[in-house]
A and B are shown apart, each in its own frame.
Chain A
Amino acid sequence: MAIDVPENVVVSKLDELASWCRKNSLWPMPFATACCGIELMATGASRHDLARFGAEVMRFSPRQCDLMIVAGRVVMKMLPVLQRIWSQMHEPKWCISMGACASTGGVFDTYSVVQGIDRFLPVDMYVPGCPPRPEQLIQAIIDLQDKIQREGTISGREFATRSRQERKRALVELPVITLPRGASHLPHGMRVE
């Protein structure tokens, strides 16, 4: 800058403008695997219209989207596909993990379901529910828009820090507690082998 104005002023206004543009034109990439995919379709249908929030087109090509909504359980056979699609998306990109199965594995604590995609991908917003109501998904998108507005920078510097990623990762696997057979209607956190 030729004039002696603090650089931050112009850049922060540019950041706000860029974030405002990005948040209001989030094009989702629906990675719909299971039941949450139907609620995602219902959110895009006429009663709860997602297009009101800027998500006008649900493009199925990762090259043309900025928001990946992982709706449904992710199985270990599917995870490399999910990672490949995530890496094919251009920055700036965000990820919403919709539903209990994508966030933590949900009802399915089994040999083939990944217990939370945030073990393998950076996730920005989690939507609980099985399946979440369309209103919940819309709330998640609104919250994500707030997040983008707060943190966004025109150059994408907010994506460069590893430390923010570490904090969001899922923690330690719960220890396995074995109980005698017949104690089957205890909460599912207790394993019966």
Chain B
Amino acid sequence: MIDAATKAALSEAFPPIAWTEFRGDTRAVVPRDVLFEVFKRLRDAHGFDLMVDITCVDYLNYRGAEDRFGLVYLLASTHTNERITLRVFVNEPDLSVPSAVALWEGANWLEREVWDMFGIPFEGHPDLRRILMPEEFTAFPLRKDYPLQGRGERHNFPVLHREDA
């Protein structure tokens, strides 16, 4: 839920934003090229100083979806208790998105997780490498084309017998 004044100011500054409301959440679909300016404007001019969460949704099997990946940024303001959800849609082959680490340090690990789970590279991220999966893991687990049980990586280890050790 955000103030009408904030919404009006943002719509005026960035006309391509599409606004929706659902169950009290205000969502804004932002095109990728103006994303960083929107972030800057929200943080500096409208007081959204808390980056609550960054995540991604893979719309591969979703009915009525046009783009494959939808990045979701949840922001909140500690002064006025407003919340806003920003959504950015990206498609293969060019999946990269500007990183928010320069504005909110809390975005560092959140973006690393999105890279690890979905394979979305963030431009300008200081240290983009895998965080939850092992370094040598090659696939991106939370994509819809990766099976729940995995592709056999979980049992690819040597066996220790009783008389070995």
Contacts and interface: CB of A to CB of B under 8 A. Distances in A.
A–B: direct contact at CB < 8 Å: yes
Interface of A: 76-77, 79-80, 83, 86-87, 89, 109-115, 119-122, 159-162, 164-165, 176, 191, 193
Interface of B: 133-134, 141, 146-151, 153-155, 157-165
B148 A162 contact: no
Given A110-B149, A111-B151, 9 more contacts: A76-B157, A83-B158, A86-B165, A109-B148, A112-B133, A112-B141, A114-B157, A122-B161, A159-B163
* Secondary structure dominating the interface of A: loop
A176 B160 contact: no
B155 to A, nearest CB: 7
A110 B148 contact: yes
Contact of A111 (B148, B158, B159): B148
**Main SS class of interface, B:** loop
Contacts of B133: 77, 112
Which of B133, B148, B154 has the largest number of chain A CB atoms within 10 A?
A: B154
B149 A122 contact: no
Q: Closest 4 A-B residue pairs measured CB to CB?
A: A111-B150, A87-B165, A122-B162, A165-B162
A108 to B, nearest CB: 10
A111 B153 contact: yes
Contacts of B151: 111
17 contacts: A76-B134, A77-B133, A79-B157, A87-B160, A87-B164, A110-B150, A111-B147, A111-B150, A112-B150, A114-B155, A115-B154, A115-B155, A120-B160, A159-B163, A165-B161, A176-B149, A191-B148
B145 to A, nearest CB: 10
A160 B161 CA distance: 10
A90 B155 CA distance: 26
Contacts of B165: 86-87, 89
A162 B162 contact: yes
Contacts of B146: 111
B162 A159 contact: yes
A114 B159 CA distance: 13
B155 A122 contact: no
A161 B162 CA distance: 7
B65 to A, nearest CB: 16
B160 A111 contact: no
A121 B163 CA distance: 11
Nearest to A158: B162
A120 B153 contact: no
Given A76-B134, A77-B133, A111-B141, A162 B163 contact: yes
